[in-house]
Chain A
Amino acid sequence: MFYPQEMSQVQLIIPARDLMAVTRKLADQGVFHQIDGSQLAVEPVKIPRPHKPWPEVAAVYATLERRILGIIQTLAIEQDLSRPPQGTGIVELDQVQPLVEQIDQQVKQVREQVGEEQKQLDELQSLYHQLEPLADRDLDLATLRAPGYIYSILGTIPNVHLDRLRTSLERIPFVFETLHQDEETAIVWLSALKRDREILDRAARSAYLNPLALPEAYSGTSSEVVHELGNKMEEIRQQMAEQGEILVGIREERGQQLQTLLGQVRSSRILTEAMGRFGRFRYTYLISGWVPTNRVAEFEKQLKGVSKNILVESLSIQRAHLHESVPVILRNARLFRPFQTLVTTYGQPRYEEMDPTFLMAVSFPLLFGAMFGDIGHGLLLALLGALLGSGRVRALRSMANFGWIITYCGVFSIVFGFLYGNIFGFENLLKPLFIRPMNSILESMILAIGVGIVLLSVGYLIFIINALMSREWGRVLFDHHGVAGLFLYWSLVGLAVEVATQHFPIPLIVLGIIALVSGLLLAFSEALNRLVEGHRPLVEGDLPSYAAASFFELFEVLIGLLSNSISYVRVAAFAIAHAGLSAVVFILATLISPSHGFGYWIVVVLGNLFIIGFEGMIVGIQSMRLEFYELFSKFFKGGGMHYEPLTLQPKVQE
């Protein structure tokens, strides 16, 4: 539970004739995380014609898969990949390619026709929008196109240029009519004698008048043309609907077949890609990867069932030392698993690193509950979370994990609600089992800092354990978060308690000496670390610079210790703010309805909903901040490798 699943490195040597069967078995078991071993071959292997290297074959399957997906998308078929294909899992290209080609042609023809019709429709729509404002005018388009003795322009112009255009034409005889005008633009008709054509053109162009394209194919008045365009557009829409019917027919006829083809081609692609990562020798293949140690025996047995001459070598990997390349499987009880998502949001734990999910699962709801202690609000949150977590709301299924986190937070809010005696903001209905934060502000803050000190100490201890596991002795002893850092922190806390209360069991002088020694160790931690690790020189660069840097580093550590601890005051602050916000709701409700009538209860209900939504969100963010920034930064490195076993089953999104 505290560490990732133990992993074993596995190497397989298989005869070339068992290649297909072994690969399929590896994929069916779904436990083998493959490593690229294609570079392990000691001698280049000449591939006999007409065979291609596996990566090239995989590329062909990938192209085919994309093509099928394209067809499936056009036909709006829902993908179903729950049934893996039978046999070796690799389908012959000659068998599927012609079939895909045939269906693609069938779909392509309809798709192209729909595309062509859409283009026509867009053009007509553009014309329609240009001429629609003139629908109530009986302008003869033929006359406008060939006006006889006069020259005219019909077009749209920004309103701001209208007056200027008129002014610019004052030196010639002209007719200027605004046919239609909206907020931004106007449709105008300009005409002048043919001899003034150039002037008219220049004026129109420089006033940003965009001439309307009068459609050659349409004749009659503007209202007739608009009507005709409308009919034509409707006709095309009907044709497009008919094409849509054809696509529905193809979907019904070929839907099942396409699902099967997609399954076959996808599994062929996955298996050939996997084979492309095998090391290839003349008569054998070398396969490398990782398997959870507790599955190795079964894994080996299954493989021997399909290949008698297979050689299996496995080596269980201990956690000591750093392991960046070992894939990580987190093992957590079902109860804690929702918090795994939050942990991996920060980073994937490394193989040798402690998985902080358990700590997160305990401390996150605890901090949330302490800040948001209210039986009623907690109950609503718990119910809302359970609804999300149960997956009953189809659209929110992807948020199931998040739902359970809300439920845990809600449960802790209920617990703290009893401790604070708070239900839906009413503070007089229940007697608090512990304290009322609003009435005991100082105590609440001291308690919050106390909780912070405990949590931060846990963070230090986990860091020390992690460093011990990876046998980094220098870091264990002298790191800011190691033994020296922890002693400095505790001694400073002790000093603060002694100064404030005069009742600390360890004398002031002892605490002072511990703080001084651990401070000095931290200041020179880099040199001491190098000493323990056997690296030389102990100090890089000149000594005065090193001393100055060490001093400032120690200063930064001290500031960090102070700010990290004080940061937990927010737990008390939000608990007080919760009570304060509730009080504001009641004051507002009383202002609305002093006699506690209907209006009073409306405001109370709305106010409570606001507190749950708004304050709940802020408290959630604050809890996350305390976890990630104050706690995780003490010990958690992350950067582990995700475990991605070879499988033909599609990944289920958590």
Chain B
Amino acid sequence: MFKTGVWGYAGIHARVRAKYSYLITSQEWAELIGAADFTALIGLLRRSVYGPYLMQLDEGVLTPRRAVYQIEKQMADTFTIIVRSTPRSARPLLTKFFLNFEVHNLKAALRGIQARASWDQVQTVLFPLGPISTLPAQAMVESGSVSSAVELLRGTPYYNTLSYAMERYTAEQSLFPLEVALDLNYWSEIWNDLNRLPRQDREPALRTVGSLLDVNNLMWAIRYKIYYHLSEEELINYTLPFGYRLRDADIRAVAAGNDIAGVILRIYPNLPDISALLLDPRKGLPELEIQLLRHVMEQCRKAFIGYPFHIGIPLAYLVLKKMEIQALTALIEAKSSRSPVEEFEAYLPLESTRK
């Protein structure tokens, strides 16, 4: 009886609220973006919640990649704390959401094999998931071939998905079908978990994770259409027929070559005119994606307003945290390659006006 509602979420709500207050503020972002170089950026980050993790390593060995790794470690630890104090009924969805990083790791391992990279090279780009991960990443990379690596996944949730897609990989020698299969499978399972939630949890969860699913699904469809020129039937098969505000009809409209801007505005009526962005897709699509992610962030912030005892609070925090990590990674890379601020600032997934 105390599994959900006030009893279930009181503790986690307090904990997440505390952590929420440590998310990087807009003023701090401005300072970070304005940092002179990578060293100055790390100096600023040492004063943030990531400080203890960055200080585990001496400055001499703190390369940009190591810095990202340490920052990701902070998120992994935060997740462990959050999931441990969440009610049992909500844990599968939270864990599944976090395992998005495992899907990334799996793709990175497969790309490493394809590129004949060594384990030392591959492990630097993996997210530090810790014991939650079932992926035999090192053995996979050291197996030397994609088919052997997939065989090593027997017994994990990824084996069936990849084994069906292996026939196409063997014929085409491209990782594209494997990666698409992994994404479709991952988000379908998230959707199923969302629908299995108790009623009072479902709506707030849909508003946060469902919104993120909408962005991913819509961006896949637009990219397949504009960049890859895939056919209608391929585009439909490589996307998902569900979402929070996105409908299958929207995907089919994009697939059929209808007005993409019209579709986007139907779903996100508050967005400014995005027709101009679609005129130059190479520059415009990343900007469009950032605008859509900002919408997701707004939805996540809204989760913290009103009745607070539901799964939306931890989920919204994790989504915001994930985007913060994403932005920090991009910023570290930009600073280490000494890119001018105006070249990268627009591509950071940051809210336009931060509270």
Verify that A and B bind, or say they do not.
Answer: yes
A residues at B contact (CB < 8 Å): 157-158, 160-161, 163-165, 167-169, 171, 184-185, 199, 202-203, 205-208, 210
Alpha-carbon distance between A203 and B230 when the two chains are bound, in angstroms: 11
Question: What 0/1 pattern do residues 143 to 167 of B give for CB contact below 8 A with A?
Answer: 0000000000000000011001101
| A interface SS class | helix
Please measure, in the bound complex, the distance between the C-alpha atom of A83 and the C-alpha atom of B188, giving whole angstroms. Answer: 68
Contact A207 B237 (CB under 8 A): yes
Question: If the complex has contacts A167-B241, A168-B237, are A208 and B231 also in contact, measured as CB distance less than 8 A?
Answer: no
Contact at B236–A168, with CB atoms within 8 Å? yes
List 10 tightest A-B contacts by C-beta distance, closest first: A206-B237, A168-B233, A203-B233, A168-B236, A206-B234, A210-B167, A207-B237, A158-B164, A168-B237, A208-B164
Contacts of B85 in A (CB 8 A): none
Q: A167 vs B233: C-alpha distance in the bound complex, in angstroms?
A: 8
Q: Is B196 an interface residue (CB 8 A)?
A: no
Q: How far is the CB of A653 from chain B (nearest CB, A)?
A: 32
Q: Looking at the complex, which one of B167, B185, B230, B252 makes contact with A167 (CB distance below 8 Å)?
A: B252
The B227-254 residues at the A interface (CB cut-off 8 A) are 230-234, 236-238, 241, 248, 252
**Cross-chain contact A163 with B231 (CB below 8 angstroms):** no
**Chain A CB within 10 Å, residue with most, of B161, B232, B236, B256:** B236
Do the beta carbons of B168 and A202 come within 8 Å of each other? no
Q: Which residues on B sit within 8 Å (CB–CB) of A157?
A: 164
**B165: which of A165, A169, A171, A208 is its contact (CB, 8 Å)?**
A208
Distance A167 CA – B238 CA, assembled complex (angstroms):
12
CA distance A501 to B147 in the complex (A): 74
Report the bound CA distance from A171 to B256 in whole Å.
10
Report Cα–Cα, A471/B237, bound state, in Å: 82
* B181 interface hit (Cβ, 8 Å): yes
Contacting residue for B185 out of A160, A169, A202, A207, CB 8 A: A160
Query: A203's contact among B160, B188, B237, by CB below 8 Å, is which?
Result: B237
A164 to B221 CA separation, bound complex (whole angstroms): 14
B262 is an interface residue with CB less than 8 A from chain A:
no
28 A-B pairs with CB atoms under 8 Å apart are A158-B161, A160-B184, A160-B185, A160-B188, A163-B241, A164-B236, A164-B241, A167-B241, A167-B252, A168-B232, A168-B233, A168-B234, A168-B237, A169-B233, A171-B232, A171-B233, A185-B164, A199-B231, A202-B234, A203-B234, A203-B237, A205-B234, A206-B233, A206-B234, A206-B237, A207-B237, A208-B181, A210-B164
B286 within 8 A of A: no
Contact A167 B165 (CB under 8 A): no
A208 and chain B: residue at smallest CB distance: B164
- Residues 294-324 of B, flagged 1 when their CB comes within 8 A of A and 0 if not, give 0000000000000000000000000000000
Check B177 for interface membership: any CB of A closer than 8 A: yes
Q: How many angstroms from the CA of A158 to the CA of B237 in the assembled complex?
A: 12
Contacts of B168 in A (CB 8 A): 205, 208
Minimum CB–CB distance for A87 against chain B, Å: 50
| A164 B231 Cβ-Cβ under 8 A | no
A201's nearest neighbour on chain B, judged by CB, is: B233
How many pairs of A and B residues are in contact by the CB < 8 Å rule? 51
A240 to B181, CA, bound (A): 41
CB pair A202–B233 under 8 Å, yes or no, is yes
A185-B164, A203-B233, A205-B168 known; 18 new pairs, CB 8 Å cut-off, are A160-B188, A163-B241, A164-B236, A164-B237, A164-B241, A168-B233, A168-B237, A169-B233, A171-B233, A202-B231, A202-B234, A203-B237, A205-B234, A206-B230, A206-B234, A208-B165, A208-B168, A210-B164
A207 to B235, CA, bound (A): 10
Give Cα A548–Cα B234 distance, bound, in whole angstroms. 73
In the assembled complex, which residues on chain B have CB atoms less than 8 Å from the CB atom of A206? 230, 233-234, 237-238
Closest chain A residue to B167 by CB distance? A210
List A contacts of B160 (CB < 8 A).
158, 184
Q: How near does chain B come to A128, taking the closest CB pair, in angstroms?
A: 19
Residues of A within 8 A of B188 (CB): 160
Q: Which residue among B164, B168, B232 has the maximum number of chain A CB atoms within 10 Å of its CB?
A: B164
Complex Cα spacing A185 to B241, Å: 20
Distance from B262 Cβ to chain A, minimum over Cβ atoms (Å): 20
Contact with A along B175-219 (1 / 0, CB 8 A): 001000100110010000000000000000000000000000000
Q: Which of B161, B231, B237, B241 has the most CB atoms of chain A within a 10 A radius of its CB?
A: B237
Note all chain B residues with C-beta closer than 8 A to A165: 237
B182 nearest CB across to chain A (Å)? 12
In the docked arrangement, what's the CA distance between A240 and B168, Å?
35
Cα–Cα, bound, A164→B180 (Å):
14
CB distance from B27 to the nearest CB of A (A): 46
Q: How far is the CB of B205 from chain A (nearest CB, A)?
A: 21
- C-alpha gap A210/B234 in the complex (Å): 15
Which residues of B have CB within 8 Å of A208? Answer: 164-165, 168, 177, 181
| Chain B residues positioned under 8 Å from A207 (CB to CB) | 237
Q: Count chain A CB atoms within 10 A of each CB in B185, B231, B241, B256 and give the residue with the most.
A: B231
CB distance from A185 to the nearest CB of B (A): 8
Q: Evaluate whether A199 and B233 lie within 8 angstroms (CB atoms) in the complex, with A158-B160, A184-B160 already known.
A: yes
**Neighbouring B residues of A184 by C-beta, 8 Å:** 160
Q: How far is the CA of A164 from the CA of B161 in the complex (A)?
A: 16
**Complex alpha-carbon distance, A185 and B160, angstroms:** 10
Task: Check if A167 sits within 8 Å of B231, measured CB to CB.
Answer: no
Contacts of B236 in A (CB 8 A): 164, 167-168
Distance of B174 from chain A, by nearest CB (Å): 12
**Which residues from chain B contact A169 at a C-beta distance below 8 Å?**
233
Instruction: Give min CB distance, A633 to chain B, whole Å.
Output: 32
Q: Contacts A208-B164, A208-B181 given; indicate if A161 touches B237 (C-beta within 8 A).
A: yes
Q: Which residue of A lies closest to B255 (CB)?
A: A168
CB contacts (< 8 Å) of A160 on chain B: these are: 184-185, 188
Closest residue to B248 on the A side, CB-wise? Answer: A167
Contacts of B184 in A (CB 8 A): 160
**Which residues on the A side are within 8 Å of B167 (C-beta)?**
210
Q: Return B7 CB to nearest CB of chain A, in Å.
A: 34
Chain B, residue nearest A161 (CB): B237
Q: Which residue of A lies closest to B224 (CB)?
A: A206
Closest chain A residue to B239 by CB distance? A164
Chain A hits for B241, CB < 8 A? 163-164, 167
